């Protein structure tokens, strides 16, 4: 009896398998892309939060000249030479500031044992690693005496170390930076790309005093990293920094020759860019679902027309019109849900494969699964309403006349 009921309920669906496949294809594509984009969006959010950790919520970056945040990256539109080491010292009198590191960024050719590479050189002080939360896998951090004493010592980024020394030990070895000999005192642990889209593994850190005097011969700095005691005091410290530097540089707020960038600024723009892309693809995915639902509607209408005699016969022997309506509604929901289930598995498979390949954290959240499942049921219900209504309104007397 149960088998007969099942065949009556779903037998018509599996009668033409090619039609069934084509009807669920649109739903499958829509759900798979919707789930994948939800997952990629969540993964991008987690990745951004991880990258923001090296530019924490209690960190400020002061850069010389005019800078704007574009696509989550601080870009200097105009650089000046007015930001000095003395400015960094002047900011130390702000009580809420816990650490300060002025920095100068340049590029150089690095040589070691016949290997030549071009990389970024960052002149920093002994507080820089603590501010950026960078860890050392080999060797040690700078000493204050090495900063004050203009010592030629270097800490290598993970990628630079691999390119120059492979799997060998780098600590204690000598490298040439623009033909000047530096002793390697440490190697950074792998960091990756940070919130400003810079590869932190492709750099060499040296004392800022050495970078300014011996390597690049400048009397100004690129910027200043400032760590404060708590994220809550960031707005207060930002205002104090602004007042001190405006006074020291003798410029008006309109003609300022520096810019203060917060983690919040970078995070906001990166999130907006990511959200815009995710929303666009999700809109296309929902459009696929709508097209798929129209396909289900068309298939169900064909099914109703082909099964008119079956429906008329069932009505003639006492079947309830409400049951006929519910049958075709259930068939429509079943087709949509089957397509959604296949799409869900395809989306999970795509996420597991492509997220690690693109170096995104593997995040399978419940929200996209719930959203995709609900949407398939809703679209299945919508696409089945009209065909089910048509089926329930069939007049058995007219149909049975021709039999």
Same domain, 397 and 273: yes
Please report whether residue 243 resides in a domain: no
57 half-sphere exposure, CB direction, 13 A CA radius = 8
Tell me, yes or no, whether 137 and 23 share the same domain.
no
Q: Which of 174, 206, 228 is the last residue of a domain?
A: 228
- Residue 242 maps to a domain: no
**The two structure tokens encoding residue 261:** 């960038």
Residues 113 and 206 in one domain: yes
Domain membership of residue 322 (yes or no) is: yes
Same domain, 109 and 220: yes
275 and 393 co-located in one domain: yes
> What pLDDT, on a 0 to 100 scale, did the predictor assign at position 330?
78
Q: Kindly state whether residues 220 and 294 are assigned to the same domain.
A: no
150 domain residue, yes or no: yes
Q: Is residue 74 part of a domain?
A: no
**Does residue 378 share a domain with residue 290?**
yes
pLDDT for the residue 351:
82
Specify whether 108 is located in the same domain as 210. Answer: yes
**Residue spans of the chain under pLDDT 70:** 1-20, 44-56, 66-79, 194-197, 263-282, 284-285, 288-289, 291-292, 303, 306-313, 315, 317-319, 365-369, 371-373, 375-376, 379-380, 384, 388, 391-392, 394-403
Q: Is the dihedral of CA 338, 343, 344, 349 positive or negative?
A: positive
**For position 69, what pLDDT does the model report?**
46
Q: How many CB atoms lie within 10 A of CB 382?
A: 17
Quote the pLDDT of residue 394.
64
Q: Which of 213, 228, 243 is at the close of a domain?
A: 228
User: How big is the CA angle at 43 (ends 37 and 45), to the nearest 5 degrees?
Assistant: 105
Helix residue ranges per DSSP H, 259-360: 263-306, 308-316, 321-357
The answer to whether residue 238 is domain-embedded is: no
Q: What pLDDT digit, counting tens, does each position of 23-33 carry? A: 777 777 777 77
Which residue segment(s) compose the domain that 129 sits in? 101-228
Rounded Cα distance, 368 and 32, in Å: 10
Q: Are residues 35 and 126 in the same domain?
A: no
> Are 396 and 276 found together in one domain?
yes
**Does the residue 385 lie in any domain?**
yes
Q: Which two tokens stand for residue 178?
A: 């623009």
pLDDT at 74: 47
Question: 284 and 213 in one domain?
Answer: no
Final residue belonging to a domain, choices 228, 260, 291 = 228
> Directed axis angle between helix 321-357 and helix 308-316, to 10°?
140
Residue 205, Ramachandran bin (φ over 0: left; ψ between -120 and 50: alpha; else beta): beta
What is the model's pLDDT at position 71? 42
Instruction: Note whether residue 89 is domain-resident.
Output: no
Could you give the number of structural domains in the chain? 2
Residues 222, 114: one domain?
yes
């Amino acid at each position: 009896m149960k088998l007969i009921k099942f065949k009556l309920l779903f037998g018509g669906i599996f009668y033409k398998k090619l039609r069934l496949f084509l009807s669920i294809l649109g739903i499958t594509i829509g759900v798979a892309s919707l789930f994948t984009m939800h997952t990629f969006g969540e993964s991008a959010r987690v990745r951004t939060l991880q990258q923001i950790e090296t530019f924490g919520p209690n960190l400020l970056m002061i850069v010389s000249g005019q800078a704007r945040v574009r696509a989550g990256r601080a870009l200097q539109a105009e650089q000046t030479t007015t930001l000095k080491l003395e400015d960094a010292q002047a900011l130390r009198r702000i009580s809420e500031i816990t650490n300060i590191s002025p920095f100068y960024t340049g590029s150089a050719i690095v040589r070691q044992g016949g290997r030549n590479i071009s990389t970024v050189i960052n002149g920093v002080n002994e507080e820089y690693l603590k501010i950026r939360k960078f860890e050392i896998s080999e060797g040690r951090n700078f000493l204050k005496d090495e900063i004050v004493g203009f010592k030629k010592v270097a800490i290598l980024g993970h990628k630079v170390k691999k390119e120059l020394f492979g799997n060998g030990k780098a600590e204690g070895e000598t490298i040439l930076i623009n033909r000047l000999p530096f002793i390697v005192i440490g190697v950074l642990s792998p960091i990756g790309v940070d919130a400003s889209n810079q590869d932190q593994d492709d750099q060499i850190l040296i004392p800022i005093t050495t970078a300014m005097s011996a390597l690049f011969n400048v009397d100004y700095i690129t910027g200043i990293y400032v760590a404060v005691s708590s994220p809550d005091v960031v707005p207060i410290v930002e205002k104090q920094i602004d007042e001190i530097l405006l006074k020291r540089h003798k410029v008006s707020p309109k003609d300022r020759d520096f810019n203060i960038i917060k983690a919040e600024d970078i995070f906001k723009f990166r999130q907006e860019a990511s959200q815009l892309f995710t929303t666009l693809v999700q809109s296309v995915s929902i459009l696929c679902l709508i097209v798929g639902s129209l396909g289900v509607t068309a298939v169900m209408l064909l099914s109703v027309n082909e099964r008119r005699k079956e429906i008329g016969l069932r009505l003639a022997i006492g079947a309830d019109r409400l049951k006929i309506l519910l049958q075709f509604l259930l068939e429509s929901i079943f087709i949509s849900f089957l397509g959604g289930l296949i799409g869900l598995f395809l989306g999970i498979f795509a996420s597991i494969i492509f997220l690690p390949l693109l170096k995104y954290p593997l995040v399978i959240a419940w929200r996209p699964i719930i959203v995709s499942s609900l949407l398939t049921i809703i679209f299945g219900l919508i696409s089945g309403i009209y065909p089910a209504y048509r089926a329930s309104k069939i007049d058995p007397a007219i149909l049975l006349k021709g039999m």
